[in-house]
């Protein structure tokens, strides 16, 4: 048998298993990826990098080379008097297709953590969650890894075709929350500050100060250190201390659903079943028939 064919046959099982000649396999990307991972995969077919921001200024100043700008106003809107609601499915599809997001390929997010979290939740809702990762440490980590940085206008993106599969179950409404107020299998997490939770501060758009009965306070900022998410062991401790023990169905809320999206992201990172109450206190406190724990 020719020598070349013998070599190919020897490598064939490793190729099928995704291993190299040393028998090593690179772990599949999860909710978080490192700058080193992105450096190795930034030219993968179908990969799209999205910089999620509130305004274009941070992106225009500096961004990961090849990244496209995803303004929060395009995937979080005001509807029926409520802030930060999901746009209609066709609008979301059109937006992501315009950024080059297609039916295949990984989607990498970085930028302002709250818009990033909201974007992660939006993509998860569309059924793309298993293809979405957040760049751990964001642009700062990318620069530390000597990754290429650009500024100015975004690169031209070829419009893609995207098939969505909305996962309506990742969201709950006020009726669902009300029906589960005494459900011991549900952990209701309030992502606001302690003052907002206790009702010593009245927020804009919130008709009654306080929190939803049975909720526990987990200020989203406690999950972050040095501009990045804490280690998973620390995050798990925070969740457990807030009553989100293993086996619980976590539901997150805040004022309008933005900060709650960050706890949603953390829960997905930890592999915890999670849903988001998007109406949050902006809706709940405005409905007088719904109970609020007052100061």
Domain segments of the chain as ranges: 32-166, 169-284
Question: Which tens digits make up the pLDDT trace of 234-266?
Answer: 999 999 999 999 899 999 999 999 999 999 999
The reply to whether CATH 3.40.50.970 applies to domain 169-284 is no
What is the rounded (10 degree) CA torsion for 98, 103, 106, 107?
A: 30
Rounded CA-CA distance 264/274 in Å is 6
Q: Which two tokens stand for residue 187?
A: 């952990």
Question: Which tens digits make up the pLDDT trace of 128-174?
Answer: 999 999 999 999 999 999 999 999 887 777 899 999 999 999 999 99
- Mean pLDDT over each residue of the chain, to the nearest integer: 91
Question: What is the model's pTM?
Answer: 0.90
Q: What angle do CA 48, 261, 97 make, to 5 degrees?
A: 30
Nearest-CA neighbor of 262 among 140, 112, 142?
112
- Asked whether the domain spanning 169-284 has the same topology as the one spanning 32-166, the reply is yes
Q: Domain 32-166, what fold?
A: Oxidized Rhodanese; domain 1 (3.40.250)
Calculate helix-pair angle for 232-241, 258-270, nearest 10 degrees.
Answer: 120
Structure confidence at residue 24 (pLDDT): 53
Question: Which tens digits make up the pLDDT trace of 28-37?
Answer: 799 999 999 9
Helix (H) or strand (E) holding 71: strand 68-71
């Amino acid at each position: 048998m020719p020598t070349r064919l013998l070599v190919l046959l020897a490598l064939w099982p490793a190729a099928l298993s995704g291993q190299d000649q040393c028998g090593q396999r690179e772990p599949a990307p999860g909710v978080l990826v490192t700058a080193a991972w992105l450096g190795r995969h930034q030219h993968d077919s179908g990969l799209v990098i999205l910089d999620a921001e509130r305004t274009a200024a941070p992106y225009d100043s500096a961004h990961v080379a090849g990244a496209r700008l995803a303004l929060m106003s395009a995937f979080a809107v005001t509807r029926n008097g409520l802030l930060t609601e999901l746009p209609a499915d066709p609008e979301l599809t059109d937006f992501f297709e315009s950024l080059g997001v297609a039916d295949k390929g990984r989607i990498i997010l970085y930028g302002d953590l709250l818009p990033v979290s909201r974007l992660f939740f939006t993509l998860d809702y569309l059924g793309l969650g298993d293809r979405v990762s957040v760049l751990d440490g964001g642009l700062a980590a990318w620069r530390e890894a000597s990754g290429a940085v650009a500024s100015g206008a975004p690169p031209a993106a070829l419009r893609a075709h995207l098939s969505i599969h909305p996962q309506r179950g990742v969201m709950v409404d006020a009726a669902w929350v009300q029906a589960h107020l005494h459900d011991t299998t549900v952990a209701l997490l309030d992502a606001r500050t302690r003052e907002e939770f206790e009702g010593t501060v009245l927020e804009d758009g919130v008709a009654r100060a306080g929190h939803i009965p049975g909720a526990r306070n987990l200020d989203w900022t406690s999950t972050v250190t040095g501009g990045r998410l804490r280690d998973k062991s620390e995050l798990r401790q925070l969740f457990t201390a807030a009553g989100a023990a293993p086996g619980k169905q976590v539901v997150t809320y805040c004022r309008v659903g933005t900060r709650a999206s960050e706890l949603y992201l953390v829960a997905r990172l930890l592999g915890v079943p999670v849903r988001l109450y998007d109406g949050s206190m902006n809706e709940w406190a405005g409905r007088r028939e719904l109970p609020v724990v007052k100061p």
